[in-house]
Homo-oligomer: A and B are copies of this chain.
């Protein structure tokens, strides 16, 4: 027997989600079919509401219920410093660091030559425009520590330097609490390069 078409359709759609393979999509589809009406309503409502309410802050492109977002409109923060991240999830991770009191900018991804994601596909132009208009003294680049994040950081840094604004990148090194035994060579090498006098 072939799988009924409506189930097949649902599997096809769910399979496109990140990190979801065919088997996982099947499992989720049958699970959704078996859910109670109230559970499905809760699920669909949560999607509908989040998509309705959440907007992109027109200053930093973070996802927020308000525009400008909570952070951009917080006058107690340091408006001279911007931390550049790839995604809203990254912003939340950095914002847990209480010592950082500056603002943010969400690129909406990283440059990726292999996936044909160039400067026009992420918000680099908007970042430059903001740097030209606002009085920013330092940009901290906090893109991911993978090759795309690295390429993006280098690309942005080159542009920002020309604007005579200080650019820094998050330090590389051992993750705190990490075991040297399990750290990879590149990380240890970077940690040695970035060693601090005691």
Contacts and interface: CB of A to CB of B under 8 A. Distances in A.
A13 B182 contact: no
Contacts of A32: 47, 50-51
A147 B3 CA distance: 27
A40 to B, nearest CB: 7
A90 to B, nearest CB: 11
Interface string A6-50: 110110111001111001101111111100000010111011111
A147 to B, nearest CB: 20
A137 interface: no
Within the oligomer, what is the number of copies of this chain? Answer: 2
A47 to B, nearest CB: 6
Contacts of A64: 4
Given A17-B28, A51-B33, A6 B88 contact: no
Listed from nearest, the 6 A-B pairs whose CB atoms lie closest are A6-B50, A1-B95, A10-B46, A13-B46, A6-B53, A10-B50
